[in-house]
Amino acid sequence: MMTQVETLVHYDNGYGYEEEYMLQEDEWDRDMLLDPAWEKQQRKTFTAWCNSHLRKAGTQIENIEEDFRNGLKLMLLLEVISGERLPKPDRGKMRFHKIANVNKALDFITSKGVKLVSIGAEEITDGNVKMTLGMIWTIILRFAIQDISVEETSAKEGLLLWCQRKTAPYRNVNIQNFHVSWKDGLAFCALIHRHRPDLLDYSKLNKDDPLGNLNLAFDIAEKHLDIPKMLDAEDIINTPKPDERAIMTYVSCFYHAFAETAANRICKVLGVNQENEKLMEEYERLASELLEWIRRTTPWLENRTAEKTMGEMQRKLEDFRDYRRMHKPPKVQEKCQLEISFNTLQTKLRISNRPAFMPSEGKMVSDIASAWQGLDQAEKGYEEWLLTEIRRLERLDHLAEKFRQKATTHETWAIGKEQILSQKDYETASLTEIRALLRRHEGFESDLAAHQDRVEQIAAIAQELNELDYHDVATVNQRCQAICDLWDQLGTLTQKRREALERTEKLLDTIDQLFLEFAKRTAPFNNWMEGAMEDLQDMFIVHTIEEVQSLIAAHEQFKATLPEAEGERQAIVGIHNEVQKISQSYGVVASSVNPYSTITMEELLDKWDKIKKLVPQRDGSLQEEMARQHSHERLRRQFAAQANLIGPWIQARMEEIGRCSLELGGALEDQMTQLKQCEHVIVTYKPNIDKLEADHQLIQESLVFDNKHTNYTMEHIRVGWELLLTTVARTINEIETQILTRDAKGISQQQMHEFRSSFNHFDRKKNGAMETDDFRACLISMGYDLGEVEFARIMLLVDSNASGVVSFQSFIDFMTRETADTDTADQPYILVEELRRELPPDQAEYCIMRMPPYKFPGAPPGALDYTSFSTALYGESDL
């Protein structure tokens, strides 16, 4: 590198900084009016320059007069090139918004010490090209050129000086201005080659190839120096005087790319120092702030005052979260930033060979770190504490709620229990009802026991709430106390009720037992009484004194059992009274009705009284009966006495008569006389019979049907008497008949005796009648050789009544008939004269009228057929 004495060439620099500036503006006005070519060049150049900065903000402009109209990109440009923030742009699309934004940009420019004359926001917004270009030039001038300082020359002159100094070693380059000096392009190349000989081979360049030189320089600048193309090579060559501002703008970029003058270096170093100092201050400041913030925050994090409610604690937690989420992160960032700044600072210092930065006391990195650690710990502690507290409060709330719920449930359950337990319903209950009540009470007791648990739980919760220092523990305690008191009360009442129920049950049970006993005893007693009543009223019919005596004896036996019965009665009454007594003395309302027995006390007593009355009654009746029986006995005896006389008397008479009839000796007339005498005796005896009849009537009226004192009944006597009468009459009749028969048949007395003796002989039984066997024997003895048939015939004749016996009269008849029978058998006719002779006249005429004449030959005249007549009369005919 060739070092040259750098001569300062001032280019039109007679005025002050500001004046020069103003002057430039005047020139600018004139220029604007005169050269459209410059407008074109400026446009291109300025657009490219703006874009070179705007690309840092990620945007570009296409059209310089259009794209700055709304002021947004303008503001952005200013921010990029100044490194400062502008106020927020208005986001509206209206014209006044755009104007406002442009004004913000212009205000910024003004704030940098630039006086803007005749540049108005409206013109820019309206897209005035000249205004816009002018404004951009103002910006370029201020921000890219104004600060250039070379060997105490600044701005335009400074830039020019720098170009001359840098291109001094190049003989073919002579930069005197910012227009024609640059036309051949060698100046650009020289500038590049001076700083970066590696980028081009200057020796190869030719003055006669301006296009090539320019394009080469532009290309290299764009490619390697990060300076975008802002000039058009052809425009420069073709324009006699290229636009000064455009050239200046482009060259300023080279300056900014390369400038490393000593002054600049010093500036830089100073700048760096200043920067460093600023950073150090910044660090200190930030450190202080941070530490202060930590100092402020830490007590807050160490605060352990508990809140009462969960809500409040949760708010605290929220605050903490906010702290963590919103307040701390920026601080973290700050700390980070602090660290970064610290590190950067230290690095920068090291690079600049400066001593390391030593923060002031208490602001050392370690201090910050330890303070930060303290903060973290405090945070953690606080968070833990918050969560613990919240949990505690949560638990308390939960417990309190649990307590409330349980207490409410229990209180609800307990409603009315006191009243129920105080009921006196057992006083009027029956045994079964009491038992039911007891069951129900048992159920209640077990329910109570089940609730014991719950009450204890409630108390336990209350205790815990006390231990955990619940804020409303007073209310809780009060309620708990009330519950416990009531609980005790319920317990007491339950016990009392149980006792009362049990006691009542016992009493009712006793009464029930008594009732049962009563029933058990009254039933048989009642039966006994009813039986006794029946017996006592029993209608008896007795016929003997013995029977009455046995009844009396039985009655006496019964009377003997009365004392025992009386005892039983008293026992039963005793039971009944017992029941009454218990009922009354214990105030237990026992049902007056005995469930086991339908028999009431009144009934029993009533019957007893009846019995008491009946006993003597029966005594009386029995005695009466006894008397009656005695009188009957007397009657009996009376009757018997008489009958015993009369009976044999009759018997004697019967025998007498029998004998009489059987007697052989004496005439029938004598027999008759005897019999008649007998008859008379008998007749005179009649009064005795009558008396007996009278006695018998008495006996009968007394309903006495038996008489053991005599074997003779009235009937016997009566029959005997009748028989006697009939026998005597019959026997008399028999004798009479015998007499008649004797007379009729002409049987002699002797014959009669013979008949009699035969009869008597064969009358084995001697009762005046012959049995069939007797008769048979008799016939055989008389010479009758009888076959059975013949005998039967004879029997039929003799005993036509089939009585089985042959009377003497029949015997006589038979005997007499036999002898007389044959007389008429051979003669079937009878003569009229015989009839008239034999029969009474009227009978004879009767027969004569009815008898048919006998028609057979050999009959005498007037013979009558009497067989058919007799047949018709007797029902008998021989065939």
Partner 1 sequence: MNVYSITLAGPAPWGFRLQGGKDFSMPLTVSRLTPGGKAAQAGVGVGDWVVSIAQLNAEDMTHVEAQNQIRAATDSLSLSLSR
Q: Residues interacting with partner 1, by CB under 8 A? A: 788-790, 792-797, 868, 871-872, 874-879
Angle of the 808-825 helix axis to the 749-762 helix axis, nearest 10 = 120
Least separation, in Å, of the C-beta of 656 and partner 1? 38
Least separation, in Å, of the C-beta of 868 and partner 1? 7
The set of residues, in sequence order, having a beta carbon less than 8 Å from that of 115 and lying 6+ positions away, is 18, 21, 22
C-beta of 715 vs 826, nearer to partner 1: 826
Least separation, in Å, of the C-beta of 788 and partner 1? 8
C-beta of 722 vs 821, nearer to partner 1: 821
Least separation, in Å, of the C-beta of 740 and partner 1? 25
C-beta of 430 vs 868, nearer to partner 1: 868
C-beta of 600 vs 868, nearer to partner 1: 868
Cα-based angle 106, 110, 114 (whole degrees, multiple of 5): 120
Least separation, in Å, of the C-beta of 633 and partner 1? 54
The 10 Å CB-count burial string (b at 16+, else e) for 414-423 is: beebeeebee
The set of residues, in sequence order, having a beta carbon less than 8 Å from that of 172 and lying 6+ positions away, is 186, 207
The 10 Å CB-count burial string (b at 16+, else e) for 517-547 is: bbbebbeebbeebeebeeebeeeeebeeeee
Backbone φ and ψ of 853, nearest 5° = -65, 145
Q: Quick one: which H or E segment has residue 805?
A: strand 805-807
* Paired tokens of 351: 């690079």
Cα-based angle 234, 235, 240 (whole degrees, multiple of 5): 110
C-beta of 243 vs 799, nearer to partner 1: 799
Least separation, in Å, of the C-beta of 795 and partner 1? 8
Q: What's the DSSP call for residue 116? A: P
Q: Quick one: which H or E segment has residue 496?
A: helix 473-536
CA 803 to chain centre: 106
C-beta of 678 vs 794, nearer to partner 1: 794
C-beta of 307 vs 818, nearer to partner 1: 818
Number of C-beta neighbours around residue 732 at 10 A: 20
Least separation, in Å, of the C-beta of 855 and partner 1? 13
C-beta of 173 vs 794, nearer to partner 1: 794
Q: Quick one: which H or E segment has residue 80?
A: helix 72-82
C-beta of 36 vs 875, nearer to partner 1: 875
C-beta of 234 vs 790, nearer to partner 1: 790
Least separation, in Å, of the C-beta of 839 and partner 1? 22
Helix (H, G, I), strand (E, B) or coil at 853: strand
Do you know the residue count of the chain?
879
Name the residue among 832, 853, 830 with its Cα closest to residue 841. 832
Least separation, in Å, of the C-beta of 779 and partner 1? 14
Least separation, in Å, of the C-beta of 854 and partner 1? 15
* Paired tokens of 13: 């620099």
C-beta of 198 vs 785, nearer to partner 1: 785
Integer Cα distance of 658 and 765 in angstroms: 12
Q: How far lies 470's CA from each of 174, 461, 463, 466, 476, in Å? A: 96, 11, 10, 6, 9
Least separation, in Å, of the C-beta of 773 and partner 1? 17
The set of residues, in sequence order, having a beta carbon less than 8 Å from that of 2 and lying 6+ positions away, is 168, 169
C-beta of 664 vs 796, nearer to partner 1: 796
The residue type of 345 is L
Least separation, in Å, of the C-beta of 796 and partner 1? 5
